[in-house]
Structure 1
């Protein structure tokens, strides 16, 4: 094999159709929907073979930068770069920026494998055979997409109609078809020659950028400027906002693939799902004899063809068929499993109401690079949280203008700094942090530190933080 392929992984999506588990603060690609590791981590594992791949480039947004770095580190996959999009501009600008970055690192002849971070794929022999065919075609200048053999008349996917064979394992693209209604999807499957549009591509970096320059010059210029004027931030690369923001908000299918004469498709038959809805999650999950898929604590009686996912509560279901029950710490969704495409519309309605907006954006448990916190109780002038701090980690040196805090250590040992004085606080001990004090919490131990935090004051928002010093670049 020649030069290793460079994976370019898109990890900035929000996945609202998998609400309430997936939310804008921690979307589906970072959740363990199909196993013990997240979809993003499963994607990294598929590109971790050094005989095939170079180190991956990940494109995400600033809000997800630490979870990207942490999840890659957890499974031991080194990254060539984490590019941070300053604004959302769809897939053309993101892929173009990844191609520019890869070209600068490895040359114009570099082949990049563009992957979504939220797809469930079975990487069997058919998968690897299609990857090899696509890489060979891309190295000769083709822009290759992967068409998945449909297993049913799905309305949540776009389709590709294939054309003539090219003699190298790829075929011409006759046309791209937008997400169809059910009747049209059935008709296309009866006709044959239609494949699901996977959104996965194999591209020569130079070939793709040449087509981008010709067919979407604003996207090309924006990507070039964003990478040229990017700045390093710890282990991240912040793309230049002024340049990137000039890119049109357009998908790569519309901007490039539907117009280019270099496009080819590899028809494939491996198991693939974009997990864009709860019924898609159900289809790829282990099921019992009644075709129920259960994650978490649940008791099902006379229930069939259903999905139950519970974070903490014990869910009991009697006498139902075709239901999705998703129970998180602060929200429960119940609906027809077969109509789970409608969840996105429900999320829009929840987001539009001030009283429900928050449950579409954040979880009761929020993750930070040092650990995270869970909200336990909220009142008019107080709130209670549980903080968890990883071994060796520390929070920023900070102060608050409007609140005081009480910390009770329930597990581990805490190193607490208050106005320059350092105190060790052990399990079953507490300490008071007066209003306005400069303070820091650290975990010098080897086990997880857990602290109950009681906040009291006139304003308790997370934005009441003045960071003085921070090892994560947030000061």
Structure 2
């Protein structure tokens, strides 16, 4: 049984301000149809004899993953929630343990959810070529044939052949400087380290137990105490917090004697920075990658990305990244794209929310857009999906006014339950127990005006919640 194991816990900080902790790059439509997560899932469905996927996702992104699977009409996937980020080695161990519950001989195809592959057929062929080595107990990784001297990737040096398609891994190499990367390109025995793998689930766990026994034992205990919560497998948080943080490369692949590599050219990119997206995208005659409403005058080799209802214009610039969102703008030289993460670090250090939240925040019931805020008041546009409901809740520091713009609202306020139609409104006093529900078949849109001494999102006391957040 070939089981895709999709790793979906990344934060994509180098693609700020579009990718943020609350909505990272794997769940964004950056290139092609659908999000990167959806493209990865769709790619695996084209493999022969493939089983239902296992997704290891952050608890914060559980509803994003579930919703995007439903958009693909995929209902057989399993979503394992990683309560705390602990890098790839523990995440893969969780998936491997779950896979062995299905099939003691399960093969895992481990794929990051945020990679782009332009040539799906070459990728499929590479998986087929890697199967014999994986069946023989090799831990197979896929090496991407380099087409340029890249300093942003690690490399794998191929050694002697294993059969006709795989090779022993001679060496894992850290990200090189430019001169070294140029020598690797000329050598032709070095491939980029893609972070994609194929191996038996049992074999991986055996190697993990040998080379990282503390990690193996702690993940095993956390997995054994996992519980089903709605459509998710929820791993014990207290136990998983004790798991050592390490990647599969450091924990296993660089220590095992059974590491193999299958080289492949499949138009691969990890979309790890804005410059990587620029390289992967469809550029115009001036070398510009343009998204949204943009005007480029005497502009060359730049990435220009504008958000809705916002015109972005450049004049006389080259090799720039200019990205706008409703609440932030990034301007960077293309060569400095890897340093965008430093902006995110500074936002975190200063306690600003822009590193994690967009102005539009998605929730399992819909979304809200913070239109205006000042001292003691805030205005939001709230959209509730048909049939969905917010939690039964109260606030200690704010009151709320709700005005229905479209759709029908069912309002609970203390002991009263009543309906509101378009252009009708109600008042929720401070401390009142309340809930908003959409009983209709079209989205409900309301304007919410908050007033009070404190308006933070942590002033929500959930008393009851269909999404398990109370």
1:63 aligns with 2:60: yes
Q: Which residue of 1 aligns with 2:331?
A: 334
Q: Which residue of 2 aligns with 1:445?
A: 440
Residue 24 (structure 1) shift: 0.9
Structure 1 residue corresponding to 2:219, chosen from 215, 218, 223: 223
Write the mapping of 1:163-174 to structure 2, written as runs, cut at 5 A: 163-174=159-170
1:411 aligns with 2:375: no
1:97 aligns with 2:84: no
Q: Aligned residues, how many? A: 469
In 1, Cα distance between equivalents of 2:50 and 2:278? 31
Q: Which residue of 2 aligns with 1:376?
A: 371
Structure 1 counterpart SS, 2:163: coil
Q: Which residue of 2 aligns with 1:209?
A: 205
Structure 1 residue corresponding to 2:270, chosen from 241, 266, 274: 274
In 2, Cα distance between equivalents of 1:360 and 1:242? 26
Q: For each residue in 1:335-373, what CA deviation from the matched residue of structure 2 results, as whole angstroms up to 9, or x when unmatched?
A: 11232111112222232223xx31111111110000010
Q: For each residue in 1:141-172, what CA deviation from the matched residue of structure 2 results, as whole angstroms up to 9, or x when unmatched?
A: 11000000112111111100111111141011
Would you say the 8 A contact 1:405–1:455 is kept in 2?
A: yes
Write the mapping of 1:350-365 to structure 2, written as runs, cut at 5 A: 350-354=347-351, 357-365=352-360
1:10 aligns with 2:7: yes
Q: Which residue of 1 aligns with 2:261?
A: 265
Would you say the 8 A contact 1:93–1:222 is kept in 2?
A: no
Which of 379-388 and 461-470 deviates more? 461-470
Question: TM-score, normalized by length of structure 2?
Answer: 0.97
In 2, Cα distance between equivalents of 1:133 and 1:217? 31
In 1, Cα distance between equivalents of 2:238 and 2:264? 40
Structure 1 residue corresponding to 2:184, chosen from 176, 188, 200: 188
In 1, Cα distance between equivalents of 2:119 and 2:239? 37
Structure 1 counterpart SS, 2:244: coil
In 1, Cα distance between equivalents of 2:267 and 2:251? 28
Could you list the runs of 5+ residues in structure 1 that have no partner in the other structure? Answer: none
Q: For each residue in 1:409-460, what CA deviation from the matched residue of structure 2 results, as whole angstroms up to 9, or x when unmatched?
A: 1122211121232222111221111111111111122222111100011111
Structure 2 residue corresponding to 1:48, chosen from 45, 49, 54: 45
Q: Which residue of 1 aligns with 2:174?
A: 178
Q: For each residue in 1:299-347, what CA deviation from the matched residue of structure 2 results, as whole angstroms up to 9, or x when unmatched?
A: 1111111111111321011111111111011110011123211111222
Structure 2 residue corresponding to 1:87, chosen from 84, 88, 113: 84
Structure 1 counterpart SS, 2:148: coil
Q: Which residue of 2 aligns with 1:247?
A: 243
Structure 1 counterpart SS, 2:249: helix
Would you say the 8 A contact 1:93–1:244 is kept in 2?
A: no
Question: TM-score, normalized by length of structure 1?
Answer: 0.96
1:301 aligns with 2:323: no
1:38 aligns with 2:9: no
Structure 1 counterpart SS, 2:367: strand
Structure 2 counterpart SS, 1:270: coil
Structure 1 counterpart SS, 2:343: helix
Structure 1 residue corresponding to 2:144, chosen from 144, 148, 155: 148
Distance 1:284 1:380, change over 3 A: same
In 2, Cα distance between equivalents of 1:347 and 1:446? 40
Q: For each residue in 1:48-87, what CA deviation from the matched residue of structure 2 results, as whole angstroms up to 9, or x when unmatched?
A: 2474311111111111111111111111122442111122
Structure 2 residue corresponding to 1:318, chosen from 315, 319, 323: 315
Structure 2 residue corresponding to 1:456, chosen from 439, 451, 461: 451
**Post-superposition, which runs of at least 4 consecutive aligned residues in structure 1 deviate over 3 A?**
none
Aligned-residue RMSD, C-alpha = 1.3
In 2, Cα distance between equivalents of 1:414 and 1:168? 64
Residue 393 (structure 1) shift: 0.8
Could you list the runs of 5+ residues in structure 2 that have no partner in the other structure? Answer: none
In 2, Cα distance between equivalents of 1:274 and 1:49? 21
In 1, Cα distance between equivalents of 2:431 and 2:60? 27
Q: Which residue of 2 aligns with 1:398?
A: 393
Q: Which residue of 1 aligns with 2:109?
A: 113
Structure 1 counterpart SS, 2:39: helix
Q: Which residue of 2 aligns with 1:157?
A: 153
1:200 aligns with 2:196: yes
